[in-house]
């Protein structure tokens, strides 16, 4: 039987050899960082992490985020060696291993639970998808905010339900990405003492040594952000690592950065090889040298000593199970003492809604002047947040414009001095806001974030990850068209709608009036595994008379017949989303007066319309009607699928201009008369 220190080294070397063997067998991957950081993750998991491998989703577990996702074999090795169990989407513990040895043997191969980068929902124990560098650490800030908010909201005397910590392992690439700087700045400002980033300072990137592009003093930068910074001079020094992590545990007033100096991708001792660090196996000869230096059987692959598995079971396994069982026992008592909070906690974890969550929703009477989409949405959002305690969010410094401030009594502002507030202030940090929203959602808070539609470009990488991870983040984008007016083309979105619609799994909704906005919010709130983008107008839009036009409940189908020709046999279809639906309604009235049979179709969500059965889609857009006009103050890209190859698409083929809204509409042809002219041309051509 190995003694304590030799057992620790055996465990570290098992992580290393599994990593190098998996990469070699796949002939693809990044072995260097996994080998160099093995002592760091061993120390963290075995000595500190409060995590139960038997229940990797219990609510108060510590989170471990591998922001250097290319070193994925670090995490897969740990998930296998600690015996993490797989959990399905319905939170039923399946009991099977999350990562089997066969999965590791099939690293980076089809259907393996060990893809090239860790993927949330694919491999249990992976807390977030961390493909692009910087995303993982930025997401970890959202997890830390969620932990602090949940502690303030749920904890009561004698019942500490939430006190988890968030650890993120990052590297030079993370430090160079702008999103990490945005997130670190906010984390320091908020004094998130439950957050610890461990920085692998190896001075190597894909192109070579970091001195070519990166020479800043990271420690000083983070101290200026308000972080506690400590350093470990050798990644192999377990006692110094232990001391640094205990420093984090003792720090109560700020986040902690632990800088760990390492040499990447060494096989034989003291050897450096930057090619092996990024995307290339070590090679059989180098692996044999490395295993020889570890005292490992040189010709044996994927060796897992039984004593290593038992060692982890007695460390992180026993500690985590004890804490998990204590938590659930405490929850049963908590639910008895605080039934309403107990119910909230359970519903939040299951992504369920409160009973009667929609009871306070407003309805809007017909109004030819109407109101702006952003204003209607603000009213709906506040009604929903009053009834859903874990709905929280904010904007990238634009809440007064996007109307996303929660204004009811008790909403408050989340800050260093007040963790209970539900209004978040992200500052002018759109990219970090998106990543932080992901972290909040992964922690089961229901988050929203807002900005102008043009700035969705700044959030796009995080939005894509929301969709990839299938998490219900809510994005609210206002100022949705050239209707922005005098701010000019830099602020007028053109291609953004098409780009959002192109993201698989993102539900994009551009409602036409206030009552469509109510219905859109209902849809958004019921989503459990999809993010949504609400796209709203800056300018006032008429509120349609629903006694004359179809119910706004049709939004749930993605597209619906708003008003139809007498007898329901139209000669021409008028299709639009958002504020342009009103143009089609006006054109419909003119055409009807001229005896032309038209149908107006409101199309707030292409994604939801495509999910309807073929019969419904045909009933809305009859294939026999070739005369079609689509209208949208955005790029025309994509509308041909509904307008057809011979239909007319009235949209934007250029950028906008700086002028009042009415002048812009006239210049670019967004008038009822132009819609009428296009419809008449279509009818003549079809006839």
How, if at all, do strands 423-425 and 391-395 pair? parallel
How, if at all, do strands 93-97 and 204-205 pair? unpaired
In total, the chain counts a number of residues equal to 687
Q: Is 308 exposed, middle or buried (0-12, 13-18, 19+ CB in 10 A)?
A: buried
Phi, psi of 475 (to 5 degrees): -110, 130
Sign of the dihedral through C-alpha 101, 106, 110, 113 = positive
Give the residue from 501, 480, 478 showing the smallest Cα distance to 492.
480
Q: Distance of CA 157 to CAs 149, 154, 322, 343, Å? A: 16, 10, 21, 18
The answer to whether 626 touches 686, Cβ cutoff 8 Å, is yes
Q: Is 251 exposed, middle or buried (0-12, 13-18, 19+ CB in 10 A)?
A: middle
Sheet holding 507-509, edge to edge: 423-425, 391-395, 446-452, 474-478, 532-535, 507-509
How far does Cα 218 stand from its chain's mean position?
Answer: 27
In angstroms, how far is the first alpha carbon of the chain from the final one?
90
The beta-strand segments (E) located in 98-234 are 166-171, 195-201, 204-205, 208-209, 228-232
Write the Ramachandran bin of 302: left for phi over 0, alpha for psi from -120 to 50, otherwise beta: left
Q: Distance of CA 144 to CAs 27, 133, 270, 272, Å? A: 37, 19, 37, 35
Q: Could you tell me the maximum CA-CA distance found in the chain, to the nearest angstrom?
A: 94
Q: Take residue 471 and report the two structure tokens written for it.
A: 């998490």
Please identify every residue annotated as catalytic: 430
Phi, psi of 132 (to 5 degrees): -65, 135
Give the residue from 395, 548, 469, 447 showing the smallest Cα distance to 117.
469
Sign of the dihedral through C-alpha 57, 61, 67, 71 = negative
Phi, psi of 129 (to 5 degrees): -75, 125
d(CA 279, CA 581): 51
Q: Distance of CA 380 to CAs 34, 420, 524, Å? A: 48, 22, 12
What is the SS3 assignment for 199? strand
Q: What value, to the nearest 5°, has the Cα angle with vertex 372 and ends 366 and 376?
A: 70
For the CA atoms of 502, 503, 509, 510, the dihedral, rounded to the nearest 10 degrees, stands at -40
Beta-carbon contacts of residue 573 (< 8 Å; ≥ 6 apart): 598, 599, 601, 621, 622, 625, 627, 628, 629
Residue 256 CB coordination number (10 Å): 25
d(CA 11, CA 27): 24
Query: What is the C-alpha radius of gyration for the chain, rounded to an integer number of angstroms?
Result: 28
């Amino acid at each position: 039987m190995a003694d304590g220190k030799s057992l620790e080294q055996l465990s570290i070397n098992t992580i290393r050899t599994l990593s190098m063997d998996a990469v070699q067998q796949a002939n693809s991957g990044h072995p260097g960082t996994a080998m160099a950081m093995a002592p760091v993750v061993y120390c963290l998991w075995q000595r500190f992490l409060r995590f139960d491998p038997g229940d990797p989703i219990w609510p108060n577990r510590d989170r471990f985020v591998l922001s250097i996702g290319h070193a994925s074999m670090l995490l897969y090795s740990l998930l296998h060696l600690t015996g993490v169990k797989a959990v399905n989407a319905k939170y039923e513990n399946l009991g099977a291993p999350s990562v089997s040895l066969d999965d590791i043997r099939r690293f980076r191969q089809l259907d393996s639970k060990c893809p090239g980068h860790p993927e949330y929902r694919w491999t249990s124990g992976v807390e977030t998808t961390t493909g692009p560098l910087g995303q993982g650490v930025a997401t970890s800030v959202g997890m830390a905010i969620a932990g602090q908010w949940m502690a303030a909201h749920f904890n009561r005397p004698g019942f500490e339900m939430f006190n988890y910590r968030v650890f993120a392992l990052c590297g030079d690439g993370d430090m160079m990405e702008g999103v990490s700087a945005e997130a670190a700045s906010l984390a320091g400002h908020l004094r998130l003492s439950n957050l610890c980033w461990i920085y692998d300072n190896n001075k190597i990137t894909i192109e070579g040594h970091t001195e070519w592009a990166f020479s800043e003093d990271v420690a000083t930068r983070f101290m200026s952000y308000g972080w506690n910074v400590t350093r470990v001079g050798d990644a192999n020094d377990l006692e110094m690592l232990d001391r640094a992590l205990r420093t984090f545990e003792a720090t109560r007033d700020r986040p902690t950065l632990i800088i760990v100096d390492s040499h990447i991708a060494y096989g034989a001792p003291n050897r450096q090889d930057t090619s092996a660090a990024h995307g290339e196996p070590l090679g059989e000869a180098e692996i044999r040298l490395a295993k020889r230096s570890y005292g490992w059987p040189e010709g044996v692959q994927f060796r897992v000593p039984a004593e290593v598995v038992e060692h982890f079971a007695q460390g992180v396994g026993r500690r985590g199970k004890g804490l998990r069982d204590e938590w659930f026992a405490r929850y049963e008592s908590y639910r008895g003492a605080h039934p309403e909070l107990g119910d909230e906690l359970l519903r939040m974890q299951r992504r369920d809604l409160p009973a009667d969550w929609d009871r306070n929703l407003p309805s809007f009477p017909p109004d030819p002047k109407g109101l702006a989409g952003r204003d209607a949405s603000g009213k709906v959002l506040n009604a929903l947040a009053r009834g859903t305690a874990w709905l929280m969010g904010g904007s990238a410094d634009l809440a007064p414009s996007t109307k996303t401030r929660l204004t009811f009594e008790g909403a408050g502002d989340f800050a260093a001095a007040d963790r209970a507030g539900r209004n978040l202030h992200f500052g002018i940090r759109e990219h970090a806001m998106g990543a932080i929203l992901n972290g909040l959602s992964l922690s089961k808070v229901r988050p929203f974030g807002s900005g102008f539609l043009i700035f969705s470009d700044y959030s796009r990488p995080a939005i894509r990850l929301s969709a990839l991870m299938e998490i219900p983040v809510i994005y609210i984008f206002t100022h949705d068209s050239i209707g922005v007016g005098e701010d000019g083309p830099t602020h007028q979105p053109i291609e953004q709608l098409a780009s959002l619609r192109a993201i698989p799994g993102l539900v994009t909704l551009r409602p036409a009036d206030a009552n469509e906005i109510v219905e859109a919010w209902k849809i958004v709130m019921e989503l459990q595994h999809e993010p949504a983008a609400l796209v709203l107008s800056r300018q006032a839009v008429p509120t349609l008379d629903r006694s004359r036009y179809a119910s706004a409940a049709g939004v749930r189908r993605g597209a619906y017949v708003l008003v139809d020709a007498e007898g329901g046999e139209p000669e021409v279809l008028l299709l639009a989303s958002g504020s342009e639906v009103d143009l089609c309604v006006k054109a419909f009235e003119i055409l009807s007066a001229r005896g032309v049979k038209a149908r107006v179709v409101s199309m707030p969500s292409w994604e939801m319309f495509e999910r309807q059965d073929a019969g419904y889609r045909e009933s809305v857009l009859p294939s026999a009607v070739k005369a079609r006009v689509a209208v949208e103050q955005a790029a025309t890209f994509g509308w041909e699928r509904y307008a057809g190859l011979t239909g007319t698409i009235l949209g934007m083929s250029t950028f906008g201009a700086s002028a009042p809204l009415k002048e812009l509409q006239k210049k670019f042809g967004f008038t009822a008369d132009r819609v009428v002219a296009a419809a008449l041309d279509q009818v003549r051509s079809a006839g």
